[in-house]
Structure 1
Amino acid sequence: MNKTLLTLAMALAASGTALAAELPDNIKAAGKVVVANTPNYPPMEYRDPATNELMGLDIDLGTALAKQLGIEVEWSDIGFEQMISSLTTGRVDLIESGMSDLPKRRDALDFLDYMKSGAQFYSTTAHKDEFKQPTDLCGKTIGMSRRTSFPDETAKWSAANCEAKGLPAIKVVGTEGSADARTQLKQGRVDAAVQGSETLPYLMSVDKGAFFTIGEPYTAVYQGIGFDKTKPELRDAYIDGLKALMENGEYKKIFTKWGLEGAMLDGIYINGEARK
C-alpha cells in the first residue's frame, strides 16, 4: 500500500473509532444494532428470489452506516404496523424500512432523513389509453397498502382534484401491502395502484411492459431512519455516520447502484428540517 492510501486508510479507521465512541453504552457493549425492516418493498428492501438473501438500498445503507460506526447490523423482520411499538418498547434499536418521515410519527420518533420520495399512481399498460392524466382516475378504484400513509394522502388528493371539481371521488382500497396491490391490479380487481415513486423504476425494469406511471408523484416526503425520541445518543451517532458517508462518496455510490440518484439529499435533515 502506498503512502497516500495508507494515510487515507488510517484516517478512515480513526474516523470510525471516533464515531463508535459516540454510541450509547448498551450498543457498544452489544457490538450491534437491531434494525426493524420488512423486506417486501424493492428496491428498498427485499429477498433475492433465488438465494433468499436480504438486499436493497436500505440494506446497503444500513450496513454501510453500521460499518462506519464500527458495529454490526442484526436485521429484524417485523410487520410495518408493529415497528414503532417495537422501537419504543426496546425490541429493536432503530427502524430502517422505507418509512416516510411524517409529522404524526414524530411524537414517538426522531427521523434522520436520507432520501426524497412521493406517492405515485400507476396502472397496467392495458389502461394506458384510458388513464392519460391523474384526474382520469377520479371515480376509479385504486389499491394501496393500508399500512402506509397512501390511503389518507390519496383521499386528500381526490378531495382537491376530483370532488372539488365535480368529479366522482377515487375509491381507495387498502391492501395487505404493495405486492398485494399489484396482484389485485393484475387481476383487474382495482383499476390502478399507488406506490412510492422510488420503487416504480425497479418494478418496471423487472416486469417489463407490464406497468406505466400516471402523472408525477402527488406528494413530496422524506424517508428516514427512525429513532426513539427519548434516546437521542444513537440518533446523533448515526447523523455523524451519514455525514461521513456523504463526504466519502459511499452514500452516492449506494444510490447510484440502485438507480436512485435523483432521490438523494444534499445534506443532513432531521424531522424534515435541514441541519445547519
Structure 2
Amino acid sequence: MFRTLLLTAVALLPLAAQAAELPESIRSRGSIVTAIVPNYPPLELRDPATNQLTGFDVELGETLAKRLGVKMQWQETTFDQMIASLRTGRVDLILSGMSDTPERRGVANFVDYLRSGSQIFTQASRAAEFPNRDALCGKAVGASRRTNYVNVLRQFSDAECVAKGRPAIRVVGTEGSADARTQLRQGRIDAAMQGNETLPYIMAQEPNTYALVGEPVEYTLMGIGTAKDAEALRTALAEALRGMMADGSYAALLTKWNLTPSAVEKVTINGEG
C-alpha cells in the first residue's frame, strides 16, 4: 500500500512542479483565461450538434491546462480584439490559430505549436484555368484582412508577377476565410488564400467544390500568444507542450484532427529555441 502511494506521489510531482511555475493570479483563480474565435475549423469551432467548443486548439488547451493543474477558461472574442485583450490583461493567453509573425512579436510572445502553409485555392470547376501559381497574375485573390495572408499575397504578387513583367494580383481583403470562400463561389474573386491546415477539413465538408493551386506560398508558425511580461506562464506552457510531444499525446491529437502535416518537431518561442 505504501509503495502504491509513493509511486502515485512521484507521478504527480511533475504536475505539481508545473502548477507551481504558474503566476499566483492563475494558481489562485484555478484557471487560465484564454481568447478564442471559434470560426476556424478544425482548429476551433462549435460542434453543430451540441454547440460546444471543439477542435484541435480546444483539446490542446484543455490538455495543457490539466497538466498545469488548472482549468481552461475560454473567452470568445473577435480576431481584432485578441491582442488588445492580452495586452490589457483581460485574458492570459491567445489560443486561436494565430500566426507567430515578427509584427505580433512586438506586443506578444508565442509558444509555437503548429506549422501553417499559406495555400491558394480556387473553385474546382475552374481548376484548369490555374494549372500553377503563375496563372494567378492579373487575377483577383481574396484573403481575410485580419490575417497576414493579405501581406503574403502582395509580396508574392510583387516577386512573381510584377517583377517578371506580369500584371499584379488584385488582392481583395475579406471579412474572414468564410467570406473569402463565399466570394469565390459567387465568382467575385478568382481564388483565395488561407492556411493549409484548414483546407482538408473544408474540402471534406464541401466535396468537389475547391481545388488547390500549387504548393503553399510560404510557411509560418502558429503560436500560443502570451503577454510580453508573462515569462512564468510562457515557460510552464512550453514545458507542458514538450511533455505532450514526449508522451505521444501531441501526435495523437494531430492524427485525430487530420493535422499531422502541420506538426512541429520541437517547441520554440517566437520561432527560436
Residue 13 (structure 1) shift? 2.5
Residue 153 (structure 1) shift? 0.8
The correspondence of residues 40-55 of structure 1 with structure 2, limited to 5 A, is: 40-55=39-54
| Partner residue, 1:181 | 180
| Partner residue, 1:57 | 56
The correspondence of residues 12-31 of structure 1 with structure 2, limited to 5 A, is: 12-31=11-30
SS in 2 for 1:103: coil
Code of the aligned partner of 2:30 = G
The correspondence of residues 74-223 of structure 1 with structure 2, limited to 5 A, is: 74-223=73-222
- Aligned pairs, number: 270
| Partner residue, 2:250 | 251
CA distance in 2, matches of 1:150, 1:111: 19
Code of the aligned partner of 2:108 = L
Which segments of 5 or more consecutive residues in structure 1 lack a partner in the other structure?
none
Which segments of 5 or more consecutive residues in structure 2 lack a partner in the other structure?
none
CA distance in 1, matches of 2:54, 2:9: 30
CA distance in 1, matches of 2:32, 2:142: 35
| Alignment deviations for residues 188-212 of structure 1 (CA, whole Å, 9 cap, x no partner) | 1111111101111111111111111
Residue 28 (structure 1) shift? 0.2
SS in 2 for 1:148: coil
CA distance in 1, matches of 2:168, 2:9: 61
| Alignment deviations for residues 98-125 of structure 1 (CA, whole Å, 9 cap, x no partner) | 0000011111111100011121000111
Change (3 A) 1:232 1:137: same
Q: Does 1:37 align with 2:36?
A: yes
SS in 2 for 1:169: coil
CA distance in 2, matches of 1:12, 1:263: 31
Runs of 4+ deviating beyond 3 Å: 9-12
CA distance in 2, matches of 1:267, 1:234: 18
CA distance in 2, matches of 1:126, 1:99: 31
CA distance in 2, matches of 1:257, 1:147: 28
SS in 1 for 2:179: helix
Residue 14 (structure 1) shift? 2.2
Residue 11 (structure 1) shift? 4.7
Computed over aligned residues only, the root mean square deviation of the Cα atoms, in angstroms, reads 1.4
- Identical residues among aligned pairs (%): 49
| Alignment deviations for residues 15-58 of structure 1 (CA, whole Å, 9 cap, x no partner) | 11111011000000000011011001011111112221111111
SS in 2 for 1:51: coil
Residue 230 (structure 1) shift? 1.4
Code of the aligned partner of 2:199 = L
CA distance in 2, matches of 1:120, 1:160: 17
CA distance in 1, matches of 2:10, 2:170: 56
Code of the aligned partner of 2:95 = E
Report the TM-score when normalising by structure 2: 0.96
Residue 10 (structure 1) shift? 5.2
Report the TM-score when normalising by structure 1: 0.95
CA distance in 1, matches of 2:246, 2:270: 21
